[in-house]
A and B are shown apart, each in its own frame.
Chain A
Amino acid sequence: QQQVRQSPQSLTVWEGETAILNCSYENSAFDYFPWYQQFPGEGPALLIAIRSVSDKKEDGRFTIFFNKREKKLSLHITDSQPGDSATYFCAASPTGGNNKLTFGQGTVLSVIP
């Protein structure tokens, strides 16, 4: 059973466009949702995170929109740059989860100059 699902599997956008990466989850106990960015040959690195008490979290060009009722969230990357080309993982954990993150399968983003 896949508790965290991501779509699309891959996404290609032109430089300057907004990339939208989607994530949904099943476990109502999840309340912390980090997004990790991974470049080839490197480990995942925390990009931005949101807690379920919020419906939006912004950090520069990266924004998470969160819908608790529908158990969905999305990562918006505005003014996409070629350097944003990477795999993005949505993850989730419950309160007191001891950092036991449940990951989605990832979205591979390609930004064309």
Chain B
Amino acid sequence: GPKVLQIPSHQIIDMGQMVTLNCDPVSNHLYFYWYKQILGQQMEFLVNFYNGKVMEKSKLFKDQFSVERPDGSYFTLKIQPTALEDSAVYFCASSLAHNAETLYFGSGTRLTVL
């Protein structure tokens, strides 16, 4: 089936540094998402993105977070600066349409902030 690729699979950084998580969504998909999963907890919605803009974001999407997809390349989540509580697995997803359509998830990037 369609694949969403996430790079890297693991990332370890020091608190206060910047990190960029990369996502290569399904090629003809138009809507993009980031979800966050802290160890042992449920996956939580962070943000969705369409046509170069954030459509909706949750309260977990702090001011230090930003997303973009320049010129149809990777869909990225940037955290600057990072904090200890940002340690989690971040899942990228994409879909063809915005409402109740199948989300295709990547395998996640495990971010560890020391």
Complex: A94 Cα to B93 Cα, angstroms: 18
Q: How far is the CB of A107 from chain B (nearest CB, A)?
A: 12
**Complex contacts, B105 vs chain A, CB 8 Å:** 36, 43-45
Question: Could you tell me if A99 and B33 are in contact, using CB atoms closer than 8 angstroms?
Answer: yes
A66 contacts chain B at the CB level, 8 A cutoff: no
Q: Write the chain A residue with the least CB distance to B50.
A: A98
Residue of A2, A34, A43, A100 touching B45 (CB-CB under 8 A): A100
Q: Write the chain B residue with the least CB distance to A36.
A: B105
Q: How far is the CB of A36 from chain B (nearest CB, A)?
A: 8
> Known contacts A43-B4, A43-B105, A43-B108: does B41 contact A99 (CB below 8 Å)?
no
Besides the known contacts A34-B103, A46-B104, 5 further A-B residue pairs in the complex with CB atoms under 8 A apart: A2-B42, A43-B104, A95-B100, A101-B35, A102-B45
B interface residue numbers (CB < 8 A to A): 1, 4, 6, 31, 33, 35, 40-45, 48, 55-56, 58, 91, 93, 95, 98-108
- What are 9 A-B contacts defined by CB distance under 8 Å? A43-B104, A45-B105, A46-B102, A51-B100, A97-B99, A98-B99, A99-B93, A102-B45, A105-B40
